[in-house]
DNA sequence: TTGTTAATTCGCATTACTTGCAAATTAGAA
DNA sequence: TTCTAATTTGCAAGTAATGCGAATTAACAA
C-alpha cells in the first residue's frame, strides 16, 4: 500500500474526499504487518476517533482493495484479513494462537501460471498452517496470546 | 474417504448408528470430485430422501471431517466445500464459473514443513485462482454454467 | 465567508452461512 | 417387543459482511 501522503494524492485525483476517517485508516494501515480484521482496525480507530463506524471501516477497506492498494485474505476461519503488503508473498497461520506471518515468496517454491491443463492461473495463494515458534514450545503453549475471534 | 461399506464398519465399531441419512450421504460423497457445498449435497440428497434435514447434512459432514474421512475447504467465497479426496493435492478455482478442479501435488512443487523460521508447518494449502479452460475461451465465456452461489 | 452539492458516513436492517439447542424419533441391543 | 442412547429435525441464534436511506460534510465556487 502506498503511503498516506501518496494515497491522498490518488484520492484527490479521483474526486474522492479526504475525510478524517479515511486519513486515519490510511495511517493505521500503513506499514501494518498484523493482517488485521475490519473489526480489529475498528477497535484501534475508535480510540483515536470515537464514533467512527464499523461500516465506514469496511467501506474504506473495500475501496482500497478495489484500488489495488491492499489485499483481502480469507484464511477460512474468522473474518477476512487485510494486508497492505502487496508484494509477492504467502502466509503462515498459527492454528493455536491465530498469529499470521508473511512468508516471503523467495523462501517458498515459486508457483506460476501455465499448469498446462487449460487453466489460466492468475493468482496463487499458499497458506501454511501449523504452530508458531511461540506456540510450539511444548511447555508454555499459550493458545490465547492472540485473539482468534471476537471476544465480546 | 473410504467406501460406504468400509465406513459402515467404522461407524458400527464406534457405536454410531447406521442411519439411512448417513448411508445416503456416504454414497453421495463416495468418489465425488465436485467439491460440493453442504447445500448442494442437501439438494441432491433431498431428491432421494425428501425430508432429510440440512442440519443433518452439516452434522454428518462435520463428523466425517472430524474422523479424517473428508476435508473441509474454504475458498474464501461462498460456503465451505467438502472433499472426500484426502490425498495430497491442491485446488484450482475458476473465478468465472466457480468450478473447482484438483491439482495433483506432483504437478505442483511440493511444499513441506520445516520453514526454518521456527514454524512447525503441519499443513499447506495452495489455491490457484484463474479461468478454467471453458471460461478462458474469449468468445463463449459462460460465467454461469456452474452455480457459484445459492440461487434461491 | 457563505452556499451548493455530490460524496461520504452512519446506523440499522438484511443476507449468507453455520452452529446451538431441545423435543421427537429411531437404530440397535437385549 | 421393549428400551435407551444416539440421531434427526426445526428453529433460534451467531458471525461476518453488505444494502440502503437519511444525515452529514469535504471540496469547490461565488
Ligand atoms: Mn501478508
Ligand atoms: Mn479436491
Ligand atoms: Zn502461535
Ligand atoms: Zn470456469
Residue in B76, B66, B44, B71 with CA at minimum distance from that of residue B57: B44
**Which residues on chain B are in Cβ contact (under 8 Å) with A114?**
none
For chain A, domains (ranges, CATH) are 4-72 (1.10.10.10), 88-152 (3.30.1490.190)
Copy the grid coordinates of residue B135: 471460461
pLDDT of residue A140: 52
A82 CA vs C13 C1’ separation (Å): 26
Among candidates A42, A72, A36, A45, which has minimal Cα distance to A54?
A42
At B74, list the grid cell. 474454504
CB burial of A30-64 (b: ≥16 within 10 Å; e: otherwise) equals eebeebbbbbbbbebbeeeeeebeeebbeebbeeb
Give me the pLDDT at residue A122, please. Answer: 80
A9 beta carbon to strand D: under 7 Å? no
**The three grid cell numbers given for residue A44, joined into one nine-digit string:** 484501534
pLDDT tens for chain B, 152 residues long, are 999 999 999 999 999 999 999 999 999 999 999 999 999 999 999 999 999 999 999 999 999 999 999 999 998 888 999 999 999 888 988 888 888 988 887 655 544 444 456 677 888 888 888 888 888 776 554 444 443 333 33
Entry pTM: 0.84
Query: Is the distance from CB of B129 to CB of A120 less than 8 angstroms?
Result: no
Q: Could you give the count of Cα atoms lying within 13 Å of A149 in the half-sphere of its Cβ?
A: 5
pLDDT at residue A123, as a whole number? 80
Can you tell me the distance from the alpha carbon of A20 to that of A49, in angstroms, rounded to the nearest whole number? 9
Q: Contacts of residue B141 in chain A, CB cutoff 8 Å?
A: none
| A36-69 pLDDT, tens digit each | 999 999 999 999 999 999 999 999 999 999 999 9
Looking at chain A, the number of H-run helices and the number of E-run strands are 4, 5
Amino acid at each position: 500500500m502506498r503511503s498516506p501522503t501518496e494515497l491522498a494524492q490518488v484520492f484527490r485525483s479521483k474526486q474522492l474526499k479526504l475525510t478524517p476517517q479515511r486519513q486515519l485508516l490510511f495511517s493505521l494501515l500503513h506499514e501494518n504487518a498484523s493482517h488485521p480484521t475490519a473489526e480489529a482496525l475498528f477497535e484501534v480507530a475508535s480510540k483515536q476517533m470515537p464514533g467512527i463506524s464499523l461500516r465506514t471501516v469496511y467501506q474504506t477497506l473495500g475501496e482500497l482493495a478495489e484500488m489495488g492498494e491492499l489485499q483481502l485474505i480469507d484464511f477460512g476461519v474468522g473474518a477476512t484479513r487485510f494486508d497492505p503488503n502487496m508484494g509477492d508473498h504467502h502466509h503462515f497461520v498459527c492454528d493455536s494462537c491465530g498469529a499470521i506471518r508473511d512468508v516471503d515468496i523467495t523462501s517458498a517454491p515459486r508457483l506460476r501460471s501455465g499448469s498446462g491443463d487449460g487453466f489460466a492461473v492468475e493468482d496463487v495463494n499458499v497458506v501454511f498452517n501449523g504452530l508458531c515458534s511461540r506456540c510450539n514450545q511444548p511447555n508454555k503453549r499459550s493458545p490465547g496470546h492472540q485473539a482468534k475471534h471476537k471476544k465480546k
